[in-house]
């Protein structure tokens, strides 16, 4: 029976594995949105399902334009990376790849219109391609929405069932669940929130100094901000170098000031504020290694899976260590008890 049980568990895991990303993101979103749902539930007179439905609709309404922006940026980044690779091989210049073909300067009204039209067309084209060709993306979005609703409404019952049937002690299960949710809050709230702020500041700075690729380099800065240690320097350092080489010294100074000073201030002040709501209890170096290793092993989704697996591994090692200490302590107490006389010292008459 045990062999049959293990076989069924492996088969079930193989079925669920292709959809682990939307399921994990839905579980993390449920944890993050727990407080707003409870407040809305109180306002609606205890109607939890209605409150959950409203929150899910709002989340989907926010996700659709975000997906459009990400799709447009991803499309532009493909062209950007191709140009950068060609420039590194001697075909074209790195300045034209990073700074664009337009004239660097204050953008006019026509430039804004052309820029918005081009990026809007890219976003619409990318969304159309996703809707037509990517069944997995559509299925993933449907699974995310359904899981978000289900986990929010019946999350307590699901957790109770898992806690009762999981092949680990209840205390260890609770600690692993805590580490799971901690990883989501740390990556999405603290890391993601800080990256969004840094990307927005970079975008405004690039637009202000008239870099034609501003609406592409700004979101790229937000993505690179998720990488520990160097972070946004992956974007602003090459831009500053190319601006200096092109003779745009004051613009290079603005880029360096924003990258070296403003982004550092954001990292030192915004991140601790967001860390109150979510902090990943892993050393920065370990986060970097787990992200890069996850990307190498699992592709793009490894940026999430790598830190999650490492954090769960660290927590499992801590649980085993704590249980070993408790066992040693209990054995020591038992040993001292065997040496002592139960009735106390004998009285010699």
Written in H, E and C, the secondary structure of the chain is CHHHHHHHHHHHHHHHHHHHHHHHHHHHHHHHCHHHHHHHHHHCCCCHHHHHHHHHHHHHHHHHHHHHHHHHHHHHHHHHHHHHHHHHCCCCCHHHHHHCCCCCCCCCHHHHHHHHHHHHHHHHHHHHHHHHHCHHHHHHHHHHHHHHHHHHHHHHHHHHHHHHHCCCCHHHHHHHHHHHHHHHHHHHHHHHHHHHHHHHHHHHHHHHCCCCCHHHHHHHHHHHCCCCCCCCHHHHHHHHHHHHHCCCHHHHHHHHHHHHHHHHHHHHHHHHHHHCCCCCCCCHHHHHHHHHHHHHHHHHHHHHHHHHHHHHHHHHHHHHHHHHHHHHHHHHHHHHHHHCCCCCCCCCC
Neighbours of 247 (CB within 10 A): 8
* Residues 304-333 pLDDT 10s: 888 999 999 999 999 998 887 776 666 677
Contact predicate 259/275, CB 8 Å? no
Region 256-278: mean pLDDT is 81
User: Look-up: residue for tokens 């034609």?
Assistant: 212
In this prediction, residue 133 carries a pLDDT of 46
Mean pLDDT of 141-150: 91
What is the rounded distance in angstroms from the CA atom of residue 73 to the CA atom of residue 310? 30
Question: Do residues 136 and 17 make contact, with C-beta atoms less than 8 angstroms apart?
Answer: no
pLDDT tens digits, residue range 221-245?
888 888 777 788 888 888 888 888 8
Q: Tens of pLDDT along 157-174?
A: 999 998 888 888 888 999
Residues 6+ apart with CB under 8 A from 91: none
Assign 180 a pLDDT band (cuts: 50, 70, 90): very high
Q: For residue 26, what pLDDT is reported?
A: 92
What is the structure's pLDDT at 292? Answer: 84
Q: Given pLDDT bands bounded at 50, 70 and 90, which one contains residue 110?
A: very low
Do 217 and 239 meet the contact criterion of CB atoms below 8 Å apart?
Answer: yes
7-17: pLDDT as tens digits: 998 999 899 98
Mean pLDDT of 234-258: 85
Window from 61-70, 145-154, 157-166, 318-327 with minimum mean pLDDT: 61-70
pLDDT in tens, 126-142: 555 555 545 677 788 88
**139 with 19: CB under 8 angstroms?**
yes
Residues 6+ apart with CB under 8 A from 287: 228, 280, 307
* pTM summary value: 0.73
Give the chain's mean pLDDT: 78
Q: What is the pLDDT of residue 92?
A: 57
Structure token digits, residue 185: 């809050």
In the chain, domain spans? 20-325
- In this predicted structure, what is the pLDDT of residue 349? 42
Most confident of the ranges 77-91, 124-138, 263-277, 282-296: 282-296
Q: Is the pLDDT of residue 80 over 70?
A: no
Band of the pLDDT at 193, cuts 50, 70, 90? Answer: confident
By CB neighbour count within 10 A (0-12 exposed, 13-18 middle, 19+ buried), where does 72 fall?
buried
Q: pLDDT band at residue 87, thresholds of 50, 70 and 90?
A: low
pLDDT at 325 (0 to 100): 73
Q: So what's the pLDDT on residue 313?
A: 93
Q: What is the mean pLDDT of residues 44-59?
A: 88
Alpha-carbon distance of 257 to 231, in angstroms, equals 15
Q: Determine contact, residues 217/74, Cβ cutoff 8 Å.
A: no
Helix axes 193-208, 233-245, angle to 10 degrees: 10
């Amino acid at each position: 029976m045990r062999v049959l049980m293990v076989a069924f568990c492996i088969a079930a895991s193989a079925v669920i594995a292709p959809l682990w990303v939307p399921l994990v993101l839905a579980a993390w979103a449920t944890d993050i949105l727990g407080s707003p749902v409870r407040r809305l539930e109180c306002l609606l007179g205890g109607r939890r399902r209605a409150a959950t439905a409203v929150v899910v609709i709002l989340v989907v309404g926010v996700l659709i334009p975000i997906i459009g922006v990400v799709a447009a940026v991803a499309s532009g980044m493909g062209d950007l990376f191709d140009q950068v690779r060609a420039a590194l091989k001697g075909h074209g210049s790195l300045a034209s790849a990073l700074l664009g073909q337009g004239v660097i300067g204050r953008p006019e009204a026509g430039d804004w219109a052309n820029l918005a039209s081009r990026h809007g067309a890219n976003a619409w084209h990318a969304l159309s391609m996703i809707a037509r060709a990517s069944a997995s993306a559509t299925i993933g979005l449907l699974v995310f929405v359904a899981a978000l609703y289900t986990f929010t409404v019946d999350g307590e019952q699901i957790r109770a069932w898992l806690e009762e049937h999981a092949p680990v002690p209840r205390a260890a299960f609770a600690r692993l669940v805590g580490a799971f949710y901690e990883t989501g809050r740390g990556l999405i709230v603290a890391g993601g929130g800080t990256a969004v702020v840094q990307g927005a500041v970079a975008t405004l700075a690039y637009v202000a100094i008239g870099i034609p690729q501003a609406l592409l380099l700004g979101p790229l800065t937000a993505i690179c901000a998720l990488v520990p240690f160097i972070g946004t320097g992956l974007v602003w350092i090459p831009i500053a170098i190319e601006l200096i080489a092109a003779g745009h010294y004051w613009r290079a100074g603005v880029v360096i000031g924003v990258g070296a000073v403003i982004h550092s201030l954001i990292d030192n002040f915004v991140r601790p504020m967001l860390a109150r709501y979510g902090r990943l209890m892993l050393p920065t170096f370990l986060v970097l290694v787990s992200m890069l290793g996850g990307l190498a092993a699992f592709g793009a989704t490894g940026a999430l899976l790598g830190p999650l697996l490492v954090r769960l591994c660290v927590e499992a090692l801590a649980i085993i260590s704590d249980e070993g200490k408790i066992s040693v302590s209990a054995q020591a107490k038992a040993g001292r008890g065997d040496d002592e006389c139960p009735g106390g010292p004998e009285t010699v008459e």
